[in-house]
Structure 1
């Protein structure tokens, strides 16, 4: 209904109302309002009430619209301001890092005995290869100078060209000023005039200057020896000057590394649409600016969404007109209520997309159409990675916002014939129509994984999670909807097991593996409930004299049909199903019993990250130790580096309590994960165990020996015990002994065994009175 018609109808209603008020009341109820007609002889509510209601709604909508526009504008400006401030901080840090890297590049060659010797001797070939043109070839430095103690230039190199400085050659004024500033700094720092190395080795001077009207980063450092073998008296030091032009190459490097848009260096600040960070000289004066195109996400989103918002605004206006018209009839209000109820029954209220009910209905329809010769159907099951961590750390509002954003991305990646639905929690489903091959499906899933891995800007900050996808084409599965959903779930499980953030297309073999996994889960539940099938073996750990210093508890499952099964078969299932708590408690108790009833100095027990994250874990361990009167010094808990550990409050609190009780913490499979020194630092590791894969490659000449030696040196430097796992040959043991290793574990000295065999081996080999 257009505006003219609305005004006309309203006028008719007002006139009818006035007539009704001027006529005497008959005591009968008013006739229903149908086509804007009211019986003249029936009393009714004043017609102006409808007009007042319409006006109130229009006013409220106007106020709401203006409020939304104002709040949106404020939010966009705030987001852009935060983004600009963050970009400026990044640029400042990038320039500081550029300065530090130039200094580190210099000191890699200037703190060296040979540098001092060859510079003194004027060996130009050596200087070229290590201090001059090599700096350009290796690091891209533009100019290099070497200045003698009298501040004369003895060597100069520009890019790959070496110049022969004449007797009157001088440094550029800005560089000469830095050299002259460096000498007093060295004299002031020198305490030992006979050998100034220790006093001046760490001195340096780095800043941006103008060279020939162009900005450049200059760093001056002394050339000093790195051992006491070369003595350098105060005042005899040569200086090394490195020049890195602040040019297009540096700007491109900063732009690529830190994602600055069209970064460049300029002698003037950038225009309004660009951001600038000044390059300051030694006096703090800006001599040039690093300029880049400002990233204003708020305005970018507004620009991108403006057509859509306009379209929705037009749609909203039309919808509002329709809603206002429905106020005149009770039947239309009832119809609207029914429609809303039907929509809510079939859609997810948070994400605004179909729910599981509608999803399954559309999947049934698509499958029926495919069987009748229609287009092929493919199904995707998606699970957001690390969503629980966001929900737990940032709150449920952030989790809800993240769900909405991910749903919007999924909708943007499908056609009108496809369906995106939220199946529950952080799980989504997608029905794709016309996906004819696994290759096409794989390309689509790859693009979707990339899309969902992009960062999300939430109100509380930026997060990046990603998703795992299980995919299946209906034509490759025998069965109906349930079979197809089960196949997609199987593929999803495989994708998550292979590292998350990826996709997997279901195959018949996968279904067999999934069914096998469910069988193992079922049998494991029975085994844990009934007892008697889970037992513990112990593998001894020896010192350099082949005495037993410890034993590692290893869990085994004596399956009534499949026989003995190792932990790699069932522990991951135990962690996912929550059975790891009872299994871990059983292993810990058996290990404590062995330690308390034998002469083994220490017993080590592998623990799962799932156990460590539980707030009561330390209490449970201490309770088991107390029950068997076992001191903490005789228990070692092993963390496996291959698994992801989180340094959360519960984890750190558990480790602190256990260490306070004397329990040692070991890091198993060292150097096979991505943690390395971070785990050693965060978890205050007492022992590291070199992974068997390194021990197996000793002596092969592929660099493994150097890695193992470095691990042993690390252990000695940090006061950490080091044990080598997987020692199976005498040659491996001898090689490790030669490197200074004093802890050995492997089939060469002892396989996993029951307590009785371990006791016999202890009597034969002997037990160390003090741990190595």
Structure 2
């Protein structure tokens, strides 16, 4: 009878409770999945439209970019002079090296032609190889309307084309050459004065770049577009986006097709495992809840166990979390492991925040999971690895001695130094390790954690990718840092302990002073002078850099407003640039001090320039509109790209002194400096070399085209009164002035 009752209960439970509940659960899961599919499709559609608009803008910019690239050789007195020389091998070779092959090797132009004032081809180059002038026939039909248009503009004195960064008129359009779409641009070859009066006597430079082929692959790579192709047919492949190529007369040349980026689909794909896991968990949970109605006591006990376990585990890496690690450490101490001694190892990822900000949280999560896997492989047979913080891990080595722990720590540093890859993206981080050797005297979990954290901080402070074993001297270092921070807060209350000094900058050719760079110095009443290398990082970490930076900016502008100098440079921290009100505060300082915006140059590092988080981009845009100059400091030590440099509004780059120091000693450093100068000149940027200490360095930098020099060869940082004395003396160097004592 009891068995029949049990069977009936089970049957009714399955029919009236289990089946409807499971069907309803499945329906909700399917509905939620369909909503995700619809949302991802909507996101993909919006992104495709935005990408198409961006691609159209990029293609337009490429056409004007070819004309700007031509101007690097068409506005050149030497070119005009050479073209008026008698025809011969010397002239042909010069034209090939400067107006033909160089345009192909440096800018990627496919062909270059030069037309005489009578529109007769006198030079031709294709794919970097010199050809007979008759090769112009390839583009003559397409180029003739543009040549006629430009000749007409030159004869009429029309300078309408001189705008948007163009210094000479020109004519350009999309054309079809030998069955391929191409950009074609025509520019007059004129001297640097831009004299266009003798229009009938101007030689013309014709530049050709095919749109399909390598250019499409480069375009797709530089602007993160899918694989691109050109076709005269308007029929796309499934899923492709397209853009029609039209001439200025409205003629259709064909279509560009590419695989659009689908963030919605990518996101959906990236969480497929999570959706599946969620569905499974949801099904298991529902089943468990149903069973709980029938087996309440057992289900309740299992549920409590699962909740307890989840509280001790990190969901991203599936490692024990901070709470779980504390439990493991308490158990280790309770087992008497400290009697035999053991090692407590803390691992922290270096530069993880920059990776997370630059590449996104998805890449950051991947780095954390991969880092956990790499460390886990090293510690698999030694104990349990835990994740105790955002980018920090911890591990206990029972019975280990100091050399053993240090050996493991170095292996951890080594594996974390390898590149992290996910899809087409990669990140380079490193790991720092802090080690505490635990003895029978150490029984407090919190004290052990504090010491391990101090050791880890010491490893990071030493530059990262290092191992530090806790010693009692580290307590003193931490205490000293806190004392400096407290002293800094006190000093910023009245600013009396700070002095702004100025290091002059000199023209490379004449050694005449052109401007100064403002630098802050701190004279503590008890500690004496404190190095900027010590207090500036502390100011940035604590946010005090905003107050300190405003003081330096105000003092420098107020002082420089009285000097007959072209500019004053002030360093700006990445922390300041992220503040929404930074540009407005600069404008307020300029108004208060009556310093012309064009005389202020803000120097920022490549890291700050590349950081798009916060309000950095909007601040830089507002400062440019205000007329303030922007300089990239320590250029060559960061991660700047040529594309970003050409697109950004930067006025000057400063060559880092680490490269300047090698001039006269290292061919490699000299080659790097020369390449940086060529890059700056190609992008019409001013160049300053810092850290110049020898005449050999000075002469080399002048010879390769550096505009401005700064360093101890000319002057150390000096106080404002000595700058005034320097300006009053009219001398070109500060040899007669005692340098400011650092």
Deviation at 1:184, TM superposition (A): 3.4
Once the two structures are superposed, residues 221-273 of structure 1 have per-residue CA deviations (whole angstroms, 9 ceiling, x without a partner) of: 22222237x77523333222122233432233224323444444444454114
Distance 1:164 1:550 in 2: 54
SS at 1:504's partner residue? coil
| Partner of residue 13 from structure 1, selected from 9, 14, 23 | 9
Say whether 1:237 aligns with 2:202. Answer: yes
Name the CA distance, whole Å, in 1 between partners of 2:500 and 2:736: 9
Contact 1:609–1:643 (8 Å) recurs in 2 = no
User: Is 1:609 aligned to 2:542, yes or no?
Assistant: no
Alignment check: 8 A CA contact 1:632 1:661 kept: no
2:127 to 159, 162, 173: 159
Q: In structure 2, how many angstroms separate the alpha carbons of the residues matched to 1:530 and 1:103?
A: 57
2:140 counterpart of 1:179: no
Q: 2:481 maps to which residue?
A: 521
Preserved contact between residue 695 and residue 725 of structure 1 (Cα < 8 Å): no
Unaligned runs of 5+ in 1: 1-7, 16-46, 392-397, 456-463, 582-607, 623-629, 714-723, 754-772
- What SS class does the counterpart of residue 294 from structure 2 fall into? coil
Contact 1:469 1:492 in 2 (8 A): no
Q: CA deviation at 1:12?
A: 0.6
C-alpha distance in 2 between matches for 1:529 and 1:134: 57
Residue 726 of structure 1 is aligned with which of 701, 716, 725? 716
User: 1:130 matched to which residue of 2?
Assistant: 98
Q: Deviations over 1:551-603 (max 9, x none)?
A: 987422244xxx5342336524752685x86xxxxxxxxxxxxxxxxxxxxxx
Map 1:201-350 to 2 at 5 A: 202-227=168-193, 233-268=198-233, 269-303=235-269, 305-306=271-272, 309-310=275-276, 313-336=279-302, 338-339=304-305, 341-343=307-309, 345-347=311-313
5 Å matches for 1:352-501? Answer: 354-362=320-328, 379-382=346-349, 386=353, 423=388, 426=390, 428-429=392-393, 431=395, 437-447=408-418, 469-472=431-434, 483=448, 486-487=451-452, 489-492=454-457, 494-495=459-460, 498=463
State TM-score, norm by structure 2.
0.65
Name stretches of at least 5 consecutive residues in structure 2 with no aligned partner. 398-403, 505-510, 610-618, 634-653, 655-687
Contact 2:40–2:265 (CA under 8 A) maintained in structure 1: yes
How many aligned positions are there? 629
Residues 640 and 225 from structure 1, CA distance in 2 versus in 1: closer, same or farther, beyond 3 angstroms? closer
Query: How far apart are the structure 1 equivalents of 2:497 and 2:21?
Result: 74
Q: What SS class does the counterpart of residue 696 from structure 1 fall into? A: coil
Query: 1:104 matched to which residue of 2?
Result: 68
Offset from partner CA, 1:723-760 (integer Å, 9 cap, x none): x85169xxx99xx989x98898899335359xxxxxxx
**Residue 9 and residue 207 in structure 1: after superposition, are their counterparts in 2 closer, same or farther (change >3 A)?**
farther
Q: 1:519 to 1:160 in 2, by over 3 A?
A: closer
Say yes or no: does 1:504 pair with 2:435: no
- Is contact 1:80–1:299 with CA below 8 Å preserved after alignment? yes
- How far apart are the structure 2 equivalents of 1:390 and 1:699? 42
Normalised by the size of structure 1, how large is the TM-score?
0.63
Q: CA deviation at 1:325?
A: 0.8
2:586 to 643, 647, 655: 655
* Aligned 8 A contact 1:148 1:239 in 2: yes
Could you tell me how far apart the structure 1 residues matched to 2:323 and 2:483 are? Answer: 33
1:138-166 Cα distance to aligned partner (Å, 9 max, x none)? 43433222223333322223234433346
Q: In the aligned structure 2, how far is the partner of 1:686 from the partner of 1:572?
A: 23
Q: Partner residue of 2:45? A: 81
Choose 402-411 or 335-344, whichever is displaced more. Answer: 402-411
**What root-mean-square deviation, in Å, do the aligned CA atoms of Structure 1 and Structure 2 show?**
5.9
**Aligned-pair distance for 1:73?**
0.6
Aligned mates of 2:456, 2:319 — CA distance in 1: 24
Q: What SS does the aligned partner of 2:56 have?
A: helix
Q: C-alpha deviations, 1:28-81, integer Å up to 9, x for none?
A: xxxxxxxxxxxxxxxxxxx88x97665664355234313311221123213433
- Given the superposition, is the C-alpha separation of residues 671 and 698 from structure 1 closer, same or farther in structure 2, using an over 3 Å criterion? farther
Question: What is the match of residue 646 of structure 1?
Answer: 577
- Alpha carbons of structure 1 residues 484 and 310: separation in structure 2 relative to 1, 3 Å: same
Q: Which residue of 2 aligns with 1:721?
A: none
- The change in CA–CA distance for 1:658 and 1:745 in structure 2 (over 3 A counts) is farther
Match for residue 112 of structure 2 among 144, 147, 169: 144
CA–CA distance in structure 1, aligned partners of residues 627 and 512 of structure 2: 28
**In 2, are the aligned partners of 1:76 and 1:298 still within 8 Å (CA)?**
yes
Tell me how far apart the structure 2 counterparts of residues 708 and 667 of structure 1 sit (CA, whole Å): 24
Contact 1:541/1:744 (8 A) holds in 2: no
Q: Please say if 1:116 is aligned against 2:77.
A: no
